Amino acid sequence: MTIDEFRASLTQAQPPAGVSPLLEALWYDANGDWEASHNIAQAREGEKNHDRLHAYLHRKEGDEWNAGYWYRRAKAPVFTGSLDDEWKALVTQWL
């Protein structure tokens, strides 16, 4: 799957079959369901990529302190670009 195909799937009623939970979370996030995305991040706390997802979600929520905590747990630098750029970077990384 390409990022363009993933973006095209955002018009569907459900995430694409067979995508990872991380991509599923980003699909829900892009469709305005922050809570579903956050539940996926929380389900596997302590795993680097899920902690990284958690950081993005709290940054999007506007909770910079909490986002910083999750970036540190993921051992990832704080993303300084736009939220859309961070979403694209995560999708690209996890495809």
The domain ranges of the chain are 3-7+19-94
Question: pLDDT tens digit string along 27-72?
Answer: 999 999 999 999 999 999 999 999 999 999 999 999 999 999 999 9
Contacts of 81 (CB under 8 A, 6+ apart): 89
Residue 25's pLDDT band, with cuts at 50, 70 and 90, is very high
Do residues 33 and 27 lie in contact, with contact meaning Cβ atoms separated by under 8 Å?
no
Residue 24's pLDDT band, with cuts at 50, 70 and 90, is very high
Instruction: Identify the pLDDT of residue 74.
Output: 98
Query: Which of left, alpha, beta for 6 (phi over 0: left; psi -120 to 50: alpha)?
Result: alpha
